[in-house]
Amino acid sequence: QQPVQSPQAVILREGEDAVINCSSSKALYSVHWYRQKHGEAPVFLMILLKGGEQKGHEKISASFNEKKQQSSLYLTASQLSYSGTYFCGTGGRKNNDMRFGAGTRLTVKP
Amino acid sequence: NAGVTQTPKFRILKIGQSMTLQCTQDMNHNYMYWYRQDPGMGLKLIYYSVGAGITDKGEVPNGYNVSRSTTEDFPLRLELAAPSQTSVYFCASSVTGVSSYEQYFGPGTRLTVT
Protein backbone atom coordinates (compact mmCIF):
# COMPACT_ATOMS: atom_id res chain seq x y z
CA GLN A 1 0.00 0.00 0.00
CA GLN A 2 1.19 3.47 -0.91
CA PRO A 3 2.11 5.81 1.93
CA VAL A 4 -0.11 8.83 2.38
CA GLN A 5 1.42 12.28 2.05
CA SER A 6 0.02 15.54 3.34
CA PRO A 7 -0.57 18.20 2.34
CA GLN A 8 -1.12 17.55 -1.35
CA ALA A 9 0.09 21.03 -2.24
CA VAL A 10 1.53 24.04 -0.47
CA ILE A 11 2.42 27.55 -1.59
CA LEU A 12 5.05 29.53 0.29
CA ARG A 13 6.79 32.86 0.11
CA GLU A 14 10.57 32.86 0.11
CA GLY A 15 11.87 32.53 3.64
CA GLU A 16 8.82 30.71 5.01
CA ASP A 17 8.91 27.21 6.51
CA ALA A 18 7.02 24.07 5.49
CA VAL A 19 6.41 20.57 6.83
CA ILE A 20 5.49 17.61 4.63
CA ASN A 21 4.18 14.46 6.28
CA CYS A 22 4.30 10.84 5.17
CA SER A 23 2.46 8.03 6.93
CA SER A 24 2.21 4.32 6.28
CA SER A 25 -0.12 1.55 7.42
CA LYS A 26 2.77 -0.92 7.32
CA ALA A 27 5.79 -1.31 9.56
CA LEU A 28 8.65 0.62 8.04
CA TYR A 29 12.30 -0.24 7.65
CA SER A 30 13.29 2.94 5.88
CA VAL A 31 11.93 6.22 4.56
CA HIS A 32 13.34 7.96 1.51
CA TRP A 33 12.70 11.55 0.45
CA TYR A 34 13.05 12.72 -3.16
CA ARG A 35 12.38 16.01 -4.94
CA GLN A 36 11.24 16.08 -8.55
CA LYS A 37 11.14 19.18 -10.71
CA HIS A 38 8.68 19.28 -13.58
CA GLY A 39 9.79 17.07 -16.47
CA GLU A 40 12.86 15.83 -14.63
CA ALA A 41 13.91 12.72 -12.74
CA PRO A 42 13.49 12.45 -8.96
CA VAL A 43 16.57 13.54 -7.02
CA PHE A 44 17.52 11.97 -3.71
CA LEU A 45 17.33 14.18 -0.61
CA MET A 46 17.84 11.80 2.29
CA ILE A 47 17.13 8.38 3.72
CA LEU A 48 16.15 7.54 7.27
CA LEU A 49 16.62 4.01 8.52
CA LYS A 50 14.84 2.23 11.33
CA GLY A 51 16.69 3.00 14.50
CA GLY A 52 18.42 5.96 12.89
CA GLU A 53 18.54 9.57 13.94
CA GLN A 54 16.87 12.62 12.55
CA LYS A 55 18.79 13.77 9.52
CA GLY A 56 19.43 17.16 8.06
CA HIS A 57 21.04 18.77 5.09
CA GLU A 58 21.44 22.54 5.27
CA LYS A 59 17.90 23.84 5.66
CA ILE A 60 16.13 20.57 4.88
CA SER A 61 15.77 17.94 7.58
CA ALA A 62 13.58 14.95 8.31
CA SER A 63 12.40 12.80 11.17
CA PHE A 64 11.23 9.20 11.35
CA ASN A 65 8.84 7.99 14.03
CA GLU A 66 8.95 4.20 13.84
CA LYS A 67 6.14 3.62 16.33
CA LYS A 68 3.74 5.87 14.47
CA GLN A 69 5.06 4.72 11.08
CA GLN A 70 5.44 8.33 10.04
CA SER A 71 8.07 10.63 8.68
CA SER A 72 8.14 14.39 8.28
CA LEU A 73 10.26 16.57 6.01
CA TYR A 74 11.08 20.05 7.30
CA LEU A 75 12.04 22.87 4.95
CA THR A 76 13.16 26.03 6.68
CA ALA A 77 13.70 29.49 5.20
CA SER A 78 12.51 28.21 1.83
CA GLN A 79 14.22 29.30 -1.37
CA LEU A 80 12.86 29.51 -4.91
CA SER A 81 14.95 26.43 -5.77
CA TYR A 82 12.92 24.35 -3.30
CA SER A 83 9.93 24.37 -5.64
CA GLY A 84 9.01 20.95 -6.95
CA THR A 85 7.13 17.83 -5.98
CA TYR A 86 8.36 15.99 -2.90
CA PHE A 87 7.90 12.23 -2.68
CA CYS A 88 8.37 9.95 0.24
CA GLY A 89 9.24 6.33 -0.39
CA THR A 90 8.72 3.74 2.31
CA GLY A 91 10.68 0.53 2.35
CA GLY A 92 10.29 -2.83 3.99
CA ARG A 93 12.98 -5.48 4.20
CA LYS A 94 12.45 -6.81 0.68
CA ASN A 95 13.62 -5.09 -2.49
CA ASN A 96 10.12 -5.02 -3.96
CA ASP A 97 8.61 -3.53 -0.81
CA MET A 98 9.39 0.05 -1.87
CA ARG A 99 6.28 2.21 -2.19
CA PHE A 100 6.06 5.90 -3.07
CA GLY A 101 3.49 8.43 -1.99
CA ALA A 102 1.53 10.52 -4.49
CA GLY A 103 3.69 13.55 -3.79
CA THR A 104 3.38 17.03 -2.31
CA ARG A 105 3.65 19.92 -4.74
CA LEU A 106 5.61 22.76 -3.18
CA THR A 107 5.64 26.19 -4.81
CA VAL A 108 7.88 28.94 -3.47
CA LYS A 109 7.08 32.45 -4.66
CA PRO A 110 9.26 35.58 -4.44
CA ASN B 1 30.42 9.52 -15.25
CA ALA B 2 27.02 9.69 -16.99
CA GLY B 3 25.05 7.98 -14.20
CA VAL B 4 21.82 6.39 -15.45
CA THR B 5 20.88 6.97 -19.08
CA GLN B 6 17.64 6.08 -20.82
CA THR B 7 16.58 5.99 -24.45
CA PRO B 8 14.38 7.07 -26.09
CA LYS B 9 13.19 10.25 -24.33
CA PHE B 10 9.82 10.21 -26.06
CA ARG B 11 7.88 7.59 -27.99
CA ILE B 12 4.41 7.21 -29.44
CA LEU B 13 3.17 3.67 -30.00
CA LYS B 14 0.06 2.33 -31.62
CA ILE B 15 -2.03 -0.20 -29.72
CA GLY B 16 -0.58 -3.67 -30.16
CA GLN B 17 2.94 -2.55 -31.07
CA SER B 18 5.98 -3.59 -29.09
CA MET B 19 9.09 -1.72 -28.04
CA THR B 20 12.11 -1.87 -25.76
CA LEU B 21 13.08 0.93 -23.39
CA GLN B 22 16.82 1.03 -22.87
CA CYS B 23 18.57 1.74 -19.56
CA THR B 24 22.30 1.84 -18.87
CA GLN B 25 24.25 2.78 -15.75
CA ASP B 26 27.99 3.31 -15.41
CA MET B 27 28.27 3.28 -11.61
CA ASN B 28 28.76 -0.50 -11.33
CA HIS B 29 25.59 -0.78 -9.26
CA ASN B 30 24.24 -4.26 -8.71
CA TYR B 31 20.62 -3.23 -8.24
CA MET B 32 18.48 -1.77 -11.00
CA TYR B 33 14.78 -0.90 -11.14
CA TRP B 34 12.05 0.10 -13.54
CA TYR B 35 9.26 2.41 -12.37
CA ARG B 36 6.28 3.98 -14.06
CA GLN B 37 4.81 7.31 -13.04
CA ASP B 38 1.29 8.19 -14.06
CA PRO B 39 0.19 11.86 -14.08
CA GLY B 40 -0.10 13.28 -10.57
CA MET B 41 0.93 10.00 -9.00
CA GLY B 42 3.93 8.50 -7.31
CA LEU B 43 6.28 5.92 -8.75
CA LYS B 44 5.26 2.28 -9.03
CA LEU B 45 7.82 -0.50 -9.28
CA ILE B 46 7.50 -2.69 -12.38
CA TYR B 47 10.55 -4.97 -12.18
CA TYR B 48 13.89 -4.97 -10.47
CA SER B 49 17.19 -6.83 -10.70
CA VAL B 50 19.77 -7.61 -8.01
CA GLY B 51 22.49 -8.53 -10.49
CA ALA B 52 23.21 -9.87 -13.95
CA GLY B 53 20.90 -12.77 -14.73
CA ILE B 54 18.58 -12.16 -11.77
CA THR B 55 15.28 -10.30 -12.10
CA ASP B 56 12.04 -10.23 -10.13
CA LYS B 57 8.59 -8.69 -10.29
CA GLY B 58 7.60 -5.49 -8.59
CA GLU B 59 4.18 -4.08 -7.86
CA VAL B 60 2.86 -3.73 -11.46
CA PRO B 61 4.67 -6.24 -13.76
CA ASN B 62 1.81 -7.24 -16.09
CA GLY B 63 2.44 -6.35 -19.73
CA TYR B 64 6.19 -5.96 -19.29
CA ASN B 65 9.30 -8.10 -19.46
CA VAL B 66 12.91 -7.48 -18.48
CA SER B 67 16.30 -9.06 -18.87
CA ARG B 68 19.69 -8.36 -17.32
CA SER B 69 22.57 -9.87 -19.23
CA THR B 70 25.19 -7.37 -17.98
CA THR B 71 25.67 -5.24 -14.87
CA GLU B 72 25.28 -2.06 -16.93
CA ASP B 73 22.11 -2.72 -18.94
CA PHE B 74 18.52 -3.35 -17.89
CA PRO B 75 16.09 -3.08 -20.82
CA LEU B 76 12.30 -3.07 -20.36
CA ARG B 77 10.20 -4.73 -23.04
CA LEU B 78 6.58 -3.79 -23.73
CA GLU B 79 4.66 -6.41 -25.64
CA LEU B 80 1.30 -5.60 -27.24
CA ALA B 81 1.15 -2.00 -26.03
CA ALA B 82 -2.13 -0.83 -24.49
CA PRO B 83 -3.39 2.71 -23.67
CA SER B 84 -3.06 1.86 -19.96
CA GLN B 85 0.71 1.76 -20.47
CA THR B 86 0.82 5.45 -21.34
CA SER B 87 3.12 6.80 -18.65
CA VAL B 88 6.58 8.13 -17.87
CA TYR B 89 9.07 5.33 -17.26
CA PHE B 90 12.05 5.78 -14.99
CA CYS B 91 15.00 3.47 -14.62
CA ALA B 92 17.01 3.62 -11.40
CA SER B 93 20.01 1.96 -9.81
CA SER B 94 21.44 1.59 -6.34
CA VAL B 95 24.55 0.13 -4.75
CA THR B 96 22.54 -2.51 -2.96
CA GLY B 97 19.08 -3.07 -1.46
CA VAL B 98 16.60 -0.29 -2.16
CA SER B 99 15.53 -0.01 1.44
CA SER B 100 18.95 1.00 2.68
CA TYR B 101 20.54 3.00 -0.10
CA GLU B 102 19.58 5.91 -2.29
CA GLN B 103 18.46 5.32 -5.84
CA TYR B 104 19.86 7.19 -8.81
CA PHE B 105 17.24 7.86 -11.46
CA GLY B 106 17.56 8.24 -15.20
CA PRO B 107 15.89 11.15 -17.03
CA GLY B 108 12.82 9.11 -17.99
CA THR B 109 11.03 7.98 -21.14
CA ARG B 110 7.64 9.51 -21.91
CA LEU B 111 5.51 6.89 -23.66
CA THR B 112 2.13 7.47 -25.26
CA VAL B 113 0.04 4.57 -26.58
CA THR B 114 -2.78 5.54 -28.92
* pLDDT tens digit sequence for B14-66: 999 999 999 999 999 999 999 999 988 889 999 999 999 999 999 999 999 99
Mapping DSSP to helix (H, G, I), strand (E, B) and coil, where does residue B83 land?
helix
Q: Judged by CB atoms within 8 Å, which residues 3-62 of B form the interface with A?
A: 31, 40-45, 48, 50, 56-59
Tell whether the model's pLDDT for residue A96 goes beyond 90.
Answer: no
Contact A32 B97 (CB under 8 A): no
Pairing of strands B4-7, B54-57: unpaired
Non-local (6+) Cβ contacts of B105 within 8 A are A41, A42, A43, B4, B90, B91, B92
Supply the pLDDT for residue A29: 85
* Contact between A68 and A76 (Cβ < 8 Å): no
Supply the pLDDT for residue A59: 84
d(CA A62, CA A9): 18
Beta bridge partners of B90: B35
CB < 8 Å to A41, chain B:
90, 105-108
d(CA A98, CA A89): 6
CB < 8 Å to B25, chain A:
none
* Contact between B111 and A46 (Cβ < 8 Å): no
Nearest CA in chain B to A101: B42
| Highest mean pLDDT of the ranges A6-10, A60-64, A68-72 | A6-10
* Contact between B34 and B64 (Cβ < 8 Å): yes
